[in-house]
Amino acid sequence: MIAIHEAAGDRYQLLLAHADAAELAASRGDVPRATSHLAIGAELAREVPSSNRSLLLIQSAAYVAYMDGRADDAAVLFGARLRLSTATFAKRYRPILEALEKQGLREEIAAGANLSAEEALERAVEVIRSRPSTPN
């Protein structure tokens, strides 16, 4: 899918494909590959600013951080994601959010909710950069 959207020049679908690939890699325990996909997604989100693109990257970065055991980062990013749009918050993330709350990370979630879309995207980029990546 990535190659198809890249060839077609469809930036939105390409970002979506990288976000999906990042989550899939993280769910399989391949966090370095997930981070690589997120880094590419961050560049795409910066090239064509849009809150929808930011939402995709922020929620995927939150998921990858959670799967990598970085609950604090995940909580901040999920908080930012929720603030930006609760209506489109995917149900598949709710159990993670509940687990973060049970871990006592409500303050981190609230801190994330105070971030603007741009600040949340920058925080997601920081989270991505804090972990070494591997090439695709």
CA 100 to chain CA mean position, Å? 16
pLDDT at 136 over 50: no
Q: What is the DSSP letter of 85?
A: -
Domain boundaries, the chain: 2-129
Q: Which residues of 102-117 are buried (b: 16+ CB within 10 A; e: fewer)?
A: eeebeebbebbbebeb
Rounded to an integer, what distance in angstroms lies between the CA atom of residue 55 and that of residue 41? 11
Per residue in 72-109, pLDDT (tens digit) is 999 999 999 988 777 778 899 999 999 999 999 999 99
Q: Which of 134, 112, 133, 107 is nearest to 123 (CA)?
A: 112
Per residue in 14-49, pLDDT (tens digit) is 988 999 999 999 999 999 999 999 999 988 888 876
Q: How confident is the model at residue 116 (pLDDT cuts 50, 70, 90)?
A: confident
pTM across the whole model: 0.86
Residue type, 54: S
pLDDT at 134: 47
Rounded to an integer, what distance in angstroms lies between the CA atom of residue 82 and that of residue 48? 22
